[in-house]
Amino acid sequence: MTKTSYVTGKEAFFGDDEIIVSKTDLKGHITYANDVFLKIAGYTEAEVLGQPHNLIRHPDMPRCVYKLLWDTISSGAEIFAYVKNRCKNGDHYWVLAHVTPSFDANKAIVGYHSNRRVPDRQALERVIIPLYRDLKKREDAFENRKDGMNAAFDDITALLQGKGVAYDEFIATI
């Protein structure tokens, strides 16, 4: 499948009573997507199964958010994160994602699971959109992607330290 980061700037919406669900293997390849996922993203099931989850990555998203996500879930913990995703046609939709590891009987991580709901609009507009814009700008100021991501990650850490809160508390209270 051709990957493109073509974007329209147009926002798509899903219902307050809907949950976008997907599951992945350990490497982040999609193993399950529900109908709400397929409908909002504009893909068929056949187009998403087996694909890396960055299929729906939006180019506006700062890389450091995904670093935080992967560091957290691969350590066995869960995370809540605001994410801007790209639809197949280039539109975008915002979600509040809850991503969790799935464990086998021996407590080994066997995959990951994400449920996403409609995000709080005020939290998005007042906090998340400006924050992600700053983080992205910081990342883009570096020639090396990884250096940029690490610098933006340090910015998030400093922001949380300045507020005296952990990431989870920050997300839960905006």
Ligand X SMILES: Cc1cc2nc3c(=O)[nH]c(=O)nc-3n(C[C@H](O)[C@H](O)[C@H](O)COP(=O)(O)O)c2cc1C
Which CB atom, from 45 or from 163, has the smaller least distance to ligand X?
45
In the structure encoding, which two tokens stand for residue 101, read together? 């590891």
Residues 6+ apart with CB under 8 A from 124: 82, 94
Q: Which of 14, 22, 96, 149 binds ligand X (CB under 6 A)?
A: 22
Is residue 24 a contact point for ligand X (CB under 6 A)?
yes
With CB under 6 A as the contact rule, which of the stretches 9-17, 53-61, 126-134, 151-159 interacts with ligand X?
Answer: 53-61
**Residues 63-80 as b or e (16 or more Cβ within 10 Å = b):** bbbbbbbeebbeeeeebb
Is residue 114 a contact point for ligand X (CB under 6 A)?
yes
* Cβ neighbours, 10 Å, residue 33: 23
With CB under 6 A as the contact rule, which of the stretches 109-117, 118-126, 133-141, 152-160 interacts with ligand X?
Answer: 109-117
Beta bridge partners of 102: 111
Is residue 72 a contact point for ligand X (CB under 6 A)?
no
Task: State how far the Cα of 57 lies from the Cα of 167, in Å rounded to an integer.
Answer: 22
Q: Which of 14, 38, 43, 85 binds ligand X (CB under 6 A)?
A: 85
With CB under 6 A as the contact rule, which of the stretches 108-116, 122-130, 149-157, 166-174 interacts with ligand X?
Answer: 108-116
Which residue bears the tokens 């307050």? 16
Which CB atom, from 29 or from 134, has the smaller least distance to ligand X?
29
Q: Cα separations (Å) of 62 from 1, 49, 71?
A: 24, 25, 15
Contact 85, 6 (CB under 8 A): no
Query: Binding residues for ligand X, how many (CB under 6 A)?
Result: 16
Minimum CB separation of residue 82 from ligand X in Å reads: 11
Minimum CB separation of residue 106 from ligand X in Å reads: 20
Which residue ranges make up the site for ligand X (CB under 6 A)? Answer: 22, 24, 28, 53-54, 56-57, 63, 66, 83, 85, 97, 99, 112-114
